């Protein structure tokens, strides 16, 4: 039974106990709570094992009384498929969105590790929709996914569907975006520390009037952490920040606002901002695509050489040329680790693990990082 999820192994063991006569017809089986103690598993794992037995008419569940071996269990067992074969567990992967600058290497890391462990990966993109995120979770569960890896949509509040899975101890791992106060494993980058070091680099270059540039999802925990790192760096240098020099209402990089109209509006916002803030000398962009919007706006104004731009993430390219000094997150390792955490949960682990993956500061081709 190696390779099968834990709940299926419990199902098979109970089925074999019924076949061997340990549990005879009409006998009450251990409750879900009792299974937790017998097998040292979560309640949802025990429930899924009992659900499998009930769905196959091996047992009868009587509310308030318990689960009992069905009188006709032998007839039901004869029609069962070959249960001893090794079926590949399905792992659901739900992404807000992904692209060349960030996300596609997460998928590569997840897919590679799923393949190595004998899992099937099913991918669903939500495109920034909380409603689609809930539907994606329901779809994964209906497909029989044994675990879910999810990059939640941008936003300060979390999805109640995701919270329900966490409370029920369903195998789930948050990727890239943690949810404060939710007891669930998380894999990502120390965004606050990385942002502080990236801001340090700008300040050490002599910049003092730096624009913090973000989309309107600045309250998302990941972006909020980058904002905190930006503030921390200024405080450590004995500097105050001025909110009037921040640009935090861009939209075109959000999956739900990827339209030509939103992009034009963002260009206009950036150009208007530059015109009204002549003291600005550098931009701290929370994402690569925001850095690109800023750079394009500067080019349109013919002033691109006057400003320095740093950001999170960037494109790999065959020549090794880097457009911006940026934080490079180890997406492959993040994807691989998320699958490993799901595997551990499938094997009975109840540890809630926040795992922070190391990052690097990559200098632009015309810059150096100490």
- Which pLDDT does position 250 carry in this prediction? 95
- Residues paired with 67 in a beta bridge: 61
Angle between helices 160-167 and 130-142 (to 10 degrees): 40
Question: What number is the average pLDDT over the span 333-348?
Answer: 94
Task: Give pLDDT tens digits for 300-338.
Answer: 999 999 999 999 999 877 676 788 999 999 999 999 999
Band (pLDDT 50/70/90 cuts) for residue 81 is low
Distance CA 368, CA 363 (A): 6
Going through the chain in order, the beta strands assigned E by DSSP cover 59-62, 66-69, 90-95, 120-125, 147-150, 172-175, 185-188, 210-215, 247-250, 282-285, 308-312, 325-329, 354-356, 359-362
pTM, two decimal places: 0.78
Query: What does the alpha-carbon distance between residue 162 and residue 134 come to, in Å, rounded to a whole number?
Result: 8
Q: Are 147 and 175 in contact (CB under 8 A)?
A: no
Q: How many CB atoms lie within 10 A of CB 95?
A: 24
CATH class of the region 191-330 = alpha beta
- Write down the CATH number for the domain with range 6-78: 1.10.10.10
CA atoms within 13 A on the CB side of 338: 36
Sign of CA pseudo-dihedral 83, 340, 221, 264: negative
Residues 336-345 as b or e (16 or more Cβ within 10 Å = b): bbbbbbbbbb
Task: Share the mean pLDDT of the chain.
Answer: 89
Region 342-367 average pLDDT: 88
Q: What is the pLDDT of residue 85?
A: 41
Q: Which CATH superfamily is domain 90-189+331-359 in?
A: Response regulator (3.40.50.2300)
Write down the pLDDT at residue 87: 58
**Which of 94-98, 141-145, 352-356 has the weakest average pLDDT?**
141-145
Q: Which residues lie below 8 Å from residue 312, measured CB to CB, with a gap of 6+?
A: 102, 191, 194, 195, 198, 226, 285, 286, 287, 288, 326, 327, 329
- Confidence band of 157 (pLDDT split at 50, 70, 90): low
152-161 average pLDDT score: 77
- 328 closest CA partner among 288, 275, 285, 268: 288
Which letter does DSSP use for residue 203 in this model? H
pLDDT: which is higher, 136 or 365: 136
Compute the C-alpha angle 309/274/301, nearest 5°.
85
Exposed / middle / buried, residue 86 (Cβ in 10 Å: 0-12, 13-18, 19+)? exposed
Q: What is the mean pLDDT of residues 238-254?
A: 93
Kindly report, residue by residue over 192-230, the tens digit of the pLDDT. Answer: 999 999 999 999 999 999 999 999 867 788 999 999 999
Model pLDDT, residue 86: 40
Tell me the two tokens of residue 10. 């419990």
pLDDT 10s digits, 32-67: 888 888 887 777 788 888 998 999 899 999 988 899
Q: Is 9 helix (H, G, I), strand (E, B) or coil?
A: helix
Confidence of residue 4 (pLDDT cuts 50, 70, 90): low
Please indicate whether residue 362 or residue 164 has the higher confidence score (pLDDT): 362
Write the burial class of residue 363 (CB in 10 Å: 0-12 exposed, 13-18 middle, 19+ buried): middle
Domain boundaries, the chain: 6-78, 90-189+331-359, 191-330
Helix, strand, coil percentages, rounded to 5, for the chain: 45, 20, 40
In this structure, which long-range contacts are made by residues 259-268, counting pairs with CB atoms below 8 Å and at least 24 apart in sequence? Answer: 263/293, 266/293, 267/293, 267/296, 267/297, 267/300
Residue % of the chain over a pLDDT of 70 = 94
* DSSP conformation letters of 71-98: TTHHHHHHTS--TTS-PPPEEEEEES--
Which ranges constitute the DSSP H helices of 237-317?
260-276, 288-301
pLDDT confidence of residue 84: 41
Whether 90-189+331-359 and 6-78 are alike in CATH topology: the answer is no
- Residue 300 neighbours by CB under 8 Å, 6+ apart: 267, 271
- Find residue 355's DSSP bridge partners: 187
User: What confidence tens digit (pLDDT) does each residue in 251-299 have?
Assistant: 998 887 889 999 999 999 999 999 999 999 999 999 999 999 999 999 9
């Amino acid at each position: 039974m190696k390779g099968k999820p834990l709940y299926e192994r419990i199902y098979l063991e109970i089925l074999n106990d019924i076949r061997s006569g340990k549990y005879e017809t009409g006998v009450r089986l251990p409750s879900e709570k009792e299974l937790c103690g017998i097998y040292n598993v979560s309640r949802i794992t025990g429930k899924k094992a009992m659900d499998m037995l009930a769905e196959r008419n091996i047992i009868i569940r009587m509310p308030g009384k318990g689960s009992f071996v069905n009188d006709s269990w032998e007839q039901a067992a004869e029609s069962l498929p070959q249960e001893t074969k090794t079926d590949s567990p399905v792992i659901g992967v739900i992404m807000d969105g992904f692209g060349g600058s960030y996300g596609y290497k997460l998928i590569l890391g997840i897919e590679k590790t799923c393949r190595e462990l004998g899992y099937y990966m099913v991918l669903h993109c939500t495109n920034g929709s909380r409603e689609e995120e809930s539907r994606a979770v329901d779809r994964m569960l209906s497909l029989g996914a044994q675990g879910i890896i999810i990059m939640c949509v941008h936003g300060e509040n979390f999805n109640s569907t995701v919270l329900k899975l966490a409370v029920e101890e369903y195998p789930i791992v948050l990727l890239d975006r943690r949810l404060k106060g939710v007891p669930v494993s998380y894999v990502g980058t120390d965004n606050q520390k990385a942002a502080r070091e990236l801001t340090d680099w700008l300040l050490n270059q002599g910049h003092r009037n730096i624009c913090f540039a973000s989309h309107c999802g600045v309250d998302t925990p990941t972006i909020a952490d980058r904002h905190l790192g930006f503030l921390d760096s200024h405080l450590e240098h004995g500097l105050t920040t001025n909110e009037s020099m921040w640009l935090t209402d861009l939209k075109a990089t959000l999956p739900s606002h990827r339209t030509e109209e939103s992009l034009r509006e963002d260009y206009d916002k950036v150009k208007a901002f530059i015109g009204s803030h002549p003291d600005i000398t550098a931009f701290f962009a929370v994402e690569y695509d925001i850095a690109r919007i800023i750079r394009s706006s500067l080019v349109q104004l013919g002033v691109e050489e006057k400003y320095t731009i740093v950001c999170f993430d960037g494109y790999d390219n065959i020549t090794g040329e880097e457009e911006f000094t940026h934080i490079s997150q180890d997406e492959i390792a993040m994807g691989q680790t998320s699958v490993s955490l799901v595997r551990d949960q499938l094997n009975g682990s109840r540890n809630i693990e926040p795992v922070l993956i190391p990052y690097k500061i990559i200098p632009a081709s015309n810059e150096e990082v100490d």
